[in-house]
Amino acid sequence: MISGILLRRYFSLTHAQMAAFNARAASVLNLDGSELSSIAMSAHVSGSVISAGAFIEATANEIAESDSRPRRNVAGMPSSLLRLNEIIEDAGAVPIEHSDSRWLAARTLIDLRNRLIHYQHDWLDSGTENMVGPGNLYSSELLERLKASFEFLPTSEHRTPRFLSPDCAAWATTSAIEFLDEFYRRLGKTPNHDHLRNSITVERPLAAAIEKQV
């Protein structure tokens, strides 16, 4: 007989903490027009988006660790969200509808995270229609989803992509938490991250500014 001790760490919780840390750092950062402040904003906001997306994906992997079934594939839908819905279905509960605002926010979050990580050469092209690449953000439907989700940086900011705003970081963190809260609610379980609630909750500015830019 083999005996031993296993200490398992759920790194999904660390991802949640990193997302919130970066969101708070972005919220107090002063964009003074310098290259350094621009780099800092881009680093904190993209870090928050990437960590928030990883929070969802790591949670799916941790909970479904013994599930060896092939992952469901639906065009345009992140596999981690589909996997979490399968877990809900396996528990005999109603899965999260793809039209649910929390699903839509989580999907947009992961889409943005993927575009940041798997950056394509023409993604941030801007200019006349016949000159920009076909994969550019500014003529894609993702841009409209981003504008509807959070406040962009002001048009006077030229060094940092305008979608990498403090509100983007706060939105990313909040969207991941709200989606996973709903996931656990449908399972009838306390969220694994519940004991970290005070440290991972971030504040967002008023939504009025978001409505003006859509």
Distance CA 124, CA 133 (A): 9
Q: What is the DSSP letter of 139?
A: G
Neighbours of 187 (CB within 10 A): 17
Give the pLDDT score at 213: 53
Helices (H), ranges, 91-165: 101-117, 141-147
Give the orientation angle of helix 101-117 with respect to helix 79-90, to 10 degrees: 140
Helices (H), ranges, the chain: 11-27, 35-63, 79-90, 101-117, 141-147, 166-187, 197-200, 208-213
Distance CA 62, CA 90 (A): 16
Give the pLDDT score at 133: 84
Q: What percent of the chain has pLDDT over 90?
A: 69
Cβ–Cβ < 8 Å for 109, 15: no
Give the pLDDT score at 27: 95
Which tokens in the block code for residue 184? 């656990």
Look at residues 168, 173, 187 and name the one whose alpha carbon lies nearest to residue 60: 187
Cβ–Cβ < 8 Å for 17, 143: no
The structure tokens 């039209």 sit at 99
pLDDT, tens digit (0-9, with 9 covering 90-100), for 61-120: 999 875 656 666 665 678 999 999 999 999 999 999 999 999 999 999 999 999 999 988
Q: In the chain, what are the domain boundaries?
A: 11-213
pLDDT, tens digit (0-9, with 9 covering 90-100), for 14-68: 999 999 999 999 999 999 999 999 999 999 999 999 999 999 999 999 998 756 5
Distance CA 153, CA 160 (A): 8
- Stretch 172-201: mean pLDDT: 97
Give the pLDDT score at 156: 85
Give the pLDDT score at 208: 46
Give the pLDDT score at 22: 98
Dihedral sign computed on CA atoms, order 59, 65, 66, 72: positive
Which tokens in the block code for residue 203? 């504040």
Per the model's pLDDT, the better-predicted residue between 195 and 76 turns out to be: 195
Q: What percent of the chain has pLDDT over 70?
A: 87
